[in-house]
Amino acid sequence: MTTYFPDDAAVARVGFGLIDRTLPKAEWTHAGHFAAALWLLRHEPQDVVRRRMPPMIRAYNEATGVPNTDDGGYHETITLASIAAARAFLDARPGAPLHGIVDELMASQLGRPDWLLAYWSKDRLFSVEARRGWIEPDLSPFDPSQAA
């Protein structure tokens, strides 16, 4: 299994880097997104993370020169689905070190950048509507516990 972060301090650095917009852009990867979500979820309830993470990502994008537009930058449906899946993944591993959880998550179907296409068609998921707000899947019901 690939090791993405050597310890929990490295995962925390991603979370803090997102919050204060100092994370190097090259580290804002698929694993980095999930690391930040898992770190936030370890410290705050899911409803708080669902409220806080979207503006954090938008601000981070702007700080790193990524415009939030109708076809780039922040994506609401992907973010909210990923938070829900990360919560389910974290809940199934109480007390486990976060860096190990990130490695395990990335080795699962969630580690594939296209994992959401099992639930949403490409056209629906990458629509302006899905980028701006939550939309329900059109291929299969989204159950975060089954995704995790």
The mean pLDDT value of the chain amounts to: 97
Q: What is the pLDDT of residue 59?
A: 98
Average pLDDT over every residue of 60-88: 97
Q: Are 14 and 53 spatial neighbours (Cβ–Cβ below 8 Å)?
A: no
pTM of structure = 0.96
Residue pLDDT, tens place only, 109-142: 999 999 999 999 999 999 999 999 999 999 999 9
Q: Which residues pair with 69 in a beta bridge?
A: 72
Residue pLDDT, tens place only, 17-55: 999 999 999 999 999 999 999 999 999 999 999 999 999
Q: Are 80 and 101 spatial neighbours (Cβ–Cβ below 8 Å)?
A: no
Side chain identity at residue 37, one-letter code: A
Question: Domain map of the chain by residue range?
Answer: 8-147
Q: Are 77 and 120 spatial neighbours (Cβ–Cβ below 8 Å)?
A: yes
